[in-house]
Amino acid sequence: MKTIDLPKSSTALREGNVRNLTEHVVEIVSDSGEGAQKCGQSFGTIAARMGYGVWTVEIIPAEIQPPARSVAGASGNRIRFASSPVTNGGDDADLVIALNEQVLLGRVGEMKPGCTILLENKWKDDPDSSVAGAYQRTVDDLDQAGFKVREVPMEEECLKHVSNARRGKNMFVLGLLCGIYEFDTQLAREQIESIFAKKSRAVIDANVGLLEAGFAWARENFDLRIRIPATRPDQPLVVANGNTAIALGIVASGMKTCAMYPITPATSASHYLSEIFEKVGGFVHQAEDEIAACCFAIGASYAGSCAVTITSGPGYSLKQEAIGLAVMAEIPLVVVNVQRGGPSTGQPTKVEQGDLLTTVFGSHGDAPKIVIAAASIEDCFYSIITARKIAETFNMVVVVLTDASLATAQTLFPRPRYDESWHAPPIDQSPVPKGALRYDWDPETGLARRFIPGQPNGMHAVTGLAHDRRSRVAYDPRINQEGLQNRSKKLVTLQKTLKTPPVFGDGEGDLLVVGWGSTRGAIEEAVRRVRSEGEKVSALHLRFIQPMPPGIGDILRRFERVLIVENNWSDRADGAGIDEDNRRYSALALLLRARYLVDADCWSEVMGQAIKPATIENVIREKLS
Amino acid sequence: MTTCNLIPECCRHSGDDALTVEDYGRALPRWCLGCGDHAILAAVQRFCRDEQLPPEKTVCVSGIGCSSRFPHYMETYGFHGIHGRALPIAEGIKMARPELNVFVSTGDGDCCSIGAAHWIHAIRYNMDMTVLLHDNEIYGLTKKQASPTSPRGLTTNTTPRGSYLNPLNPLSATLGVANVSFVAQAVDWIPDILHEIIRMAYHHKGFSFVRILQRCPAYLPNTFEARVKDPSSVRLLTHEDGLVPTPAIARVYGNQEEHDPLDIHRAREIASVSDPIPVGILYRDPAVPRYEDSFDSDRTDTAETTGTALERELDKITIQASA
């Protein structure tokens, strides 16, 4: 294997062409199976090791093997990396690498004006004239639209090193990127060693060769060089997506049973958990359906320590009756809902925050449960630990809301330091005092100690029927009233222990932007931008949706205006035919307006992607004007 | 402990600490007079007494329907669940705590209609539990609607001109599923055999499915009446590895067939016949693997071992900053 001496500095480069920046958004797109995902993930890992803040977003086609050279078949990765930590995927792309022009077409709306495009040029001379024609038309159109298209002979260059360019072109592309961004090539080599660790030496050498070829090609042929300073982190960091963080949170929480049914985008959490869970005495049960998964988890919870079921919107709908059973029988349960686009099958791989109200109000009758929304990937980890603890303390259902954007995006966060208090206590098998009642609701808190099979004297039959303190079927309406009152009281008890969330920015001002869940990073970035121009704008982010922490009303009332920003449906106030009598507000707006009697406005969209900071920035400016 | 002095048999274990049949009873059952559920409850309580099952280590699980009130009448742990979902709840319990004795009471609507998907898969999982299908061929609690096992032509509130469909055969269906390991049939009007079959079901380590034909005096008072009175309408399946009737029973129920419970082909033929009613063990294979045994989990983990495992996983995703 010939190794290339990498030039220390390229002769082709004039110093004026080095752009010093603080961040960039890069996209790599290809047909499915060409390795753009692996290339993007590798680029992100190298960036992270160099000390950049990183946020990667998967670009995934709906099908497993979509047709080649199709707009909807684009597969790849978007990487935002910056000198400082990043909390979201950022705005439109600064630089895009595409392995054909068709996969690019669907991404144009996500590219900044003047965005640099590196495009595989082999299609120009394709024997099929319709392919060659389509290529040329696209290049011309992109040029006309002001994008800087640079055609790169990727295939041709790769064939100098390997016989099949389709395998390995992604590593050539990685080399191009390392060249443009002046990345540490030693780290890139190590990354290749690591991803091909199970392959032969020859495979690793070939891929390193392609990496070096890409690097050298970029240095020799591009006058484009982007320099972004990296900062070494002062603490150990981990890199994970939200679903991995959830799986790790489940392990850390001491839960032992995860019951699930495959559903996008939740399933990868269970994949990861299946790998590691048995080592810590746990197991993943793939049930025959969503209802069975929920009931299995309830059974396991009833028999011992709290269990978890992981799902997404359609699965959540199916679980609703069983969730009501756990509420009624006061059995601890953690339900994770990785939200996707709805209603119905909706947009399985796309993000939406459309399930807030169904989790708060869902299941028939009054079924009080706790709803926590993870605000970041790191928070996915800690939310599960919190959820398990609350579920077992209050014998309640705790729903943890995340969404497709948290589930599949990867970022860095401080490595958790394991705390033994996270772990579930051993199953209580001590005798129950004779005569003790299963639902001996405490008049102050509504709490009652549960009796677990194996505990002598604790025999009782839990039931979804209205029941008295001995868990016997209630035929007296006053007993029903008492049961509902006590189950509701538990929410009050928890609410009093919650802290008022901090306001991002000043505690009062012209506008307060309120959000929940995955939008936190983007909202706060947008607010920071307008605040830097002197605007009196702050942000508030809710992690506990039910119960709402104390002090929210006071915060809302200290601002002239309140704007709720969410990734779900709402009518625009100025929409055709919309007036105050018929306007449908977004989910959190509805809750906040109802609870605090504050005339809060809302802005939301359902574009199937994370809301960009620039979009929120524009919405804020419009609201202020 | 209370001691029953009226019926000598109840005192078989009458040491000071022995549990009696009454010790396994809780509230007074609210089923109709003559309902077959009473016979099933009595058989289970008698069995628990015979085996002296620790009440705190025994869980009765059910779904919804008349028969699903069962756990309320057992002084054990109980889980009266939601319609159709008794089996997945029971599976969760068994998986989390394999040492518990798990009984499931489910009706023909609960098991064969709304919960049919769970039934099929529960057979596959083959978890160690005793499943009693209380089959009265009608919906009782919702007031007389056709069930999947109702005979064709049955007049009910939803089929006033007679039901349209042939009944589903729970025995055939169960015997058709991969991993089936125990299938038996009993009738509520022969309590000794019902008791014996429950005993054998309990001792089979796997998913023991017992269909019990039971009378519903409120809605189908005549369905089984002729057969109750005619012993030849029942065919006992006998075998040295299956049901061995007592001489007294054998004298009354002379219609018998020697059937080896390992013979699944003959079992399927027997299952397809409803007249005479086959009663006994149709199929039993103790070698079928159990789902709860397939996990390699060490259930004795602690906060400390969890912490060690978590740190190991975190090591894998920790970013080693470049020097």
pLDDT at A223: 87
Say yes or no for a CB contact (<8 Å) between A459 and B76. yes
Is residue A385 scored above 60 in pLDDT?
yes
Is residue A14 scored above 80 in pLDDT?
no
pLDDT at A16: 62
- Predicted ipTM beyond 0.85: yes
Band (pLDDT 50/70/90 cuts) for residue A27 is very high
Q: How far is A526 from A624, CA to CA, in rounded Å?
A: 13
Rounded to a whole number of angstroms, the distance from the CA of B61 to the nearest CA of chain A is 9
Q: Does residue A249 belong to any structural domain of this protein?
A: yes
Using a CB-CB cut-off of 8 Å, the residues of chain B touching A465 are 80
Q: Does residue B78 belong to any structural domain of this protein?
A: yes
Task: State which residues form the domain around A574.
Answer: 503-624
Q: Does residue B248 belong to any structural domain of this protein?
A: yes
Task: Indicate whether A34 and A81 sit together in one domain.
Answer: yes
Say yes or no for a CB contact (<8 Å) between B299 and A48. no
Say yes or no for a CB contact (<8 Å) between A460 and B314. no
Task: Indicate whether A87 and A136 sit together in one domain.
Answer: yes
Using a CB-CB cut-off of 8 Å, the residues of chain A touching B320 are 49
DSSP designation for A306 = -
Is residue A39 scored above 70 in pLDDT?
yes
Say yes or no for a CB contact (<8 Å) between A254 and B85. no
Rounded to a whole number of angstroms, the distance from the CA of A463 to the nearest CA of chain B is 5
Rounded to a whole number of angstroms, the distance from the CA of A287 to the nearest CA of chain B is 8
Is residue B12 scored above 60 in pLDDT?
no
Task: Indicate whether A128 and A66 sit together in one domain.
Answer: yes
User: What would the pLDDT profile of A127-156 be if each residue is shown by its tens digit?
Assistant: 999 999 999 999 999 999 999 999 999 999
DSSP designation for B216 = B
User: What would the pLDDT profile of B147-171 be if each residue is shown by its tens digit?
Assistant: 999 999 999 999 999 999 999 999 9
Q: Does residue B13 belong to any structural domain of this protein?
A: yes
Q: Does residue A451 belong to any structural domain of this protein?
A: no
Phi, psi of A7 (to 5 degrees): -65, 140
pLDDT at B15: 60
Q: Does residue B1 belong to any structural domain of this protein?
A: no
The CA–CA distances, whole Å, from A239 to A23, A245, A388, A436, A601 equal 19, 9, 23, 49, 36
pLDDT at A9: 45
CATH of the domain at A214: 3.40.920.10
Task: State which residues form the domain around B254.
Answer: 8-317
Task: Indicate whether A174 and A288 sit together in one domain.
Answer: no
pLDDT at B16: 67
Determine how β-strand A370-373 pairs with β-strand A544-546.
antiparallel
pLDDT at B1: 42
pLDDT at A353: 98
Query: In the predicted model, what is the mean pLDDT of residues B13-41?
Result: 90
Give the best residue of B83, B91, B141 to mutate against chain A (max A CB count within 10 A): B91
Task: Indicate whether A60 and A174 sit together in one domain.
Answer: yes
Task: Indicate whether A341 and A406 sit together in one domain.
Answer: yes
Is residue B218 scored above 60 in pLDDT?
yes
Say yes or no for a CB contact (<8 Å) between A459 and B97. no
Compute the Cα dihedral for A202, A207, A211, A214 and give only its sign: positive
Domains of chain A: total: 3
CATH of the domain at A568: 3.40.50.920
pLDDT at A13: 52
Task: Indicate whether A527 and A582 sit together in one domain.
Answer: yes
Using a CB-CB cut-off of 8 Å, the residues of chain B touching A378 are none
Final residue of a domain: which of A422, A439, A457?
A: A422
| DSSP run (H or E) holding B192 | helix B191-203
Say yes or no for a CB contact (<8 Å) between B319 and A237. yes
Using a CB-CB cut-off of 8 Å, the residues of chain A touching B65 are none
Say yes or no for a CB contact (<8 Å) between A299 and B318. no
User: What would the pLDDT profile of A409-442 be if each residue is shown by its tens digit?
Assistant: 999 999 999 999 999 989 999 999 999 999 999 9
pLDDT at B2: 44
Q: Does residue A38 belong to any structural domain of this protein?
A: yes
Is residue A401 scored above 50 in pLDDT?
yes
Query: In the predicted model, what is the mean pLDDT of residues A542-571?
Result: 98
Query: Which of B77, B298, B304 lies at the smallest CB-CB distance from A453?
Result: B77
Say yes or no for a CB contact (<8 Å) between A238 and B319. yes
Q: Does residue B197 belong to any structural domain of this protein?
A: yes
Q: Return all residues near A340 (Cβ < 8 A) that are at least 6 apart.
A: A264, A265, A312, A313, A346, A347, A348, A349, A350, A351, A352, A403, A404
What's chain A's average pLDDT? Answer: 95
Q: Identify the weakest region by mean pLDDT among A11-25, A300-314, B88-102, B213-227.
A: A11-25
CATH of the domain at A386: 3.40.50.970
Is residue A5 scored above 80 in pLDDT?
no
Query: In the predicted model, what is the mean pLDDT of residues B220-239?
Result: 96
Task: Indicate whether A246 and A350 sit together in one domain.
Answer: yes
Q: Please tell me which residue of chain B has the smallest CA distance to A278.
A: B297
Q: Does residue A394 belong to any structural domain of this protein?
A: yes
Q: How far is A97 from A87, CA to CA, in rounded Å?
A: 24
Q: How many CB atoms lie within 10 A of CB A113?
A: 8
Q: Does residue B2 belong to any structural domain of this protein?
A: no
Q: Does residue A3 belong to any structural domain of this protein?
A: no
What's chain B's average pLDDT? Answer: 94
Percent of chain A having pLDDT more than 90? 91
User: What would the pLDDT profile of B36-80 be if each residue is shown by its tens digit?
Assistant: 999 999 999 999 999 999 999 999 999 999 999 999 999 999 999
| DSSP run (H or E) holding A601 | strand A601-604
User: What would the pLDDT profile of A244-290 be if each residue is shown by its tens digit?
Assistant: 999 999 999 999 999 999 999 999 999 999 999 988 889 999 999 99
| DSSP run (H or E) holding A174 | helix A169-180
Task: Indicate whether A220 and A347 sit together in one domain.
Answer: no
Q: Does residue B189 belong to any structural domain of this protein?
A: yes
Q: What residues does B59 pair with on adjacent strands?
A: B77, B102
CATH of the domain at B245: 3.40.50.970
Q: Does residue A343 belong to any structural domain of this protein?
A: yes
Q: How far is B279 from A575, CA to CA, in rounded Å?
A: 70
Q: Does residue B323 belong to any structural domain of this protein?
A: no
Task: Indicate whether A195 and A274 sit together in one domain.
Answer: no
Using a CB-CB cut-off of 8 Å, the residues of chain B touching A412 are 319
Say yes or no for a CB contact (<8 Å) between B96 and A458. no
Q: What residues does A112 pair with on adjacent strands?
A: none
Q: Identify the weakest region by mean pLDDT among A16-25, A378-387, A406-415.
A: A16-25
Final residue of a domain: which of A404, A422, A440?
A: A422
pLDDT at A234: 87
Final residue of a domain: which of A176, A207, A227?
A: A227
- Tell the residue number behind the tokens 């603490």, with chain if given: A235
Using a CB-CB cut-off of 8 Å, the residues of chain B touching A251 are 306, 309-310, 313
